[in-house]
Amino acid sequence: MQHFDVLVVGAGLSGIGAAYRLQTQSPDRTYAILEARDSIGGTWDLFRYPGVRSDSDMFTLGFPFHPWKAAKAIADGPSILEYLHETAATYGIDKHIRFGERVVRASWSSGDAQWSVETSQGSYTCSFLYVCSGYYDYDSGYVVDFPGQSEFQGRVVHPQQWPADLDYTGQRVVVIGSGATAVTLVPAMARTAEHVTMLQRTPSYVASRPAHDAFSDRLRALLPEKLAHRLIRGKNVALSTALYSAFRKWPAHAAWLLNSTVAKQLPESIPVDPHFTPHYKPWDQRLCLVPDADLFEVLRDGSASVVTDEIETFTPTGLRLRSGQELEADLVVTATGLRMVALGKIEVTVDGRPVHPHDTFVYKGMMLSGVPNLAWCIGYTNNSWTLRSDLTSQYVCRLLNHLAATGTSICVPEIDPAEYDAPARPVVDLSSGYIRRAAAILPRQGSTGPWRLRQNYPRDLVVLRFSPVADGTMRFKRAA
Q: Do 339 and 158 form a contact (C-beta atoms < 8 A)?
A: no
Model confidence at 429: pLDDT above 80: no
- Average pLDDT value for residue range 20-30: 97
Q: Find the helix or strand (DSSP H, E) in which 319 lies.
A: strand 318-321
Q: Please give the C-alpha separations between residue 326 and each of 271, 315, 316, in angstroms, as whole numbers.
A: 20, 9, 11
- How far is Cα 277 from Cα 258, in angstroms, rounded to an integer? 9
CA 314 to chain centre: 31
3 state DSSP class of 302? coil
Taking only the tens place, the pLDDT of each residue in 2-23 is 999 999 999 999 999 999 999 9
Q: Which pLDDT score is estimated for 432?
A: 75
Dihedral over Cα of 42, 43, 44, 47: its sign: positive
Percent of the chain with pLDDT strictly greater than 70 = 99
CA 146 to chain centre: 27
Length of the chain: 480
DSSP string, 53-119: B-SS-HHHHS-TTS---SS-SS-BHHHHHHHHHHHHHHTTGGGGEEET--EEEEEEETTTTEEEEEE
Taking only the tens place, the pLDDT of each residue in 152-183 is 999 999 999 999 999 999 999 999 999 999 99
Q: Which pLDDT score is estimated for 453?
A: 87
pTM reported for the whole predicted model:
0.95
Q: Which pLDDT score is estimated for 430?
A: 75
Q: Which pLDDT score is estimated for 438?
A: 80
Dihedral angle, C-alpha 420, 422, 424, 427, nearest 10 °: -80
Q: Which pLDDT score is estimated for 420?
A: 63
Short-list 405, 454, 412, CA closest to 26: 405
Model confidence at 415: pLDDT above 90: no
Higher pLDDT, 140 or 197: 197
- Supply φ then ψ for residue 79, to 5 degrees: -65, -40
DSSP string, 192-259: TSSEEEEEESS---EEEE-SS-HHHHHHHHHS-HHHHHHHHHHHHHHHHHHHHHHHHHSHHHHHHHHH
Taking only the tens place, the pLDDT of each residue in 182-223 is 999 999 999 999 999 999 999 999 999 998 888 898 999 999
Q: Which pLDDT score is estimated for 423?
A: 64
Taking only the tens place, the pLDDT of each residue in 462-472 is 999 999 999 99
* Domains and their CATH numbers in the chain: 2-139+339-477 (3.50.50.60), 149-334 (3.50.50.60)
Q: Do 159 and 339 form a contact (C-beta atoms < 8 A)?
A: no
Model confidence at 435: pLDDT above 80: no
Taking only the tens place, the pLDDT of each residue in 211-270 is 888 889 899 999 999 999 999 999 999 999 999 999 999 999 999 999 999 999 999 999
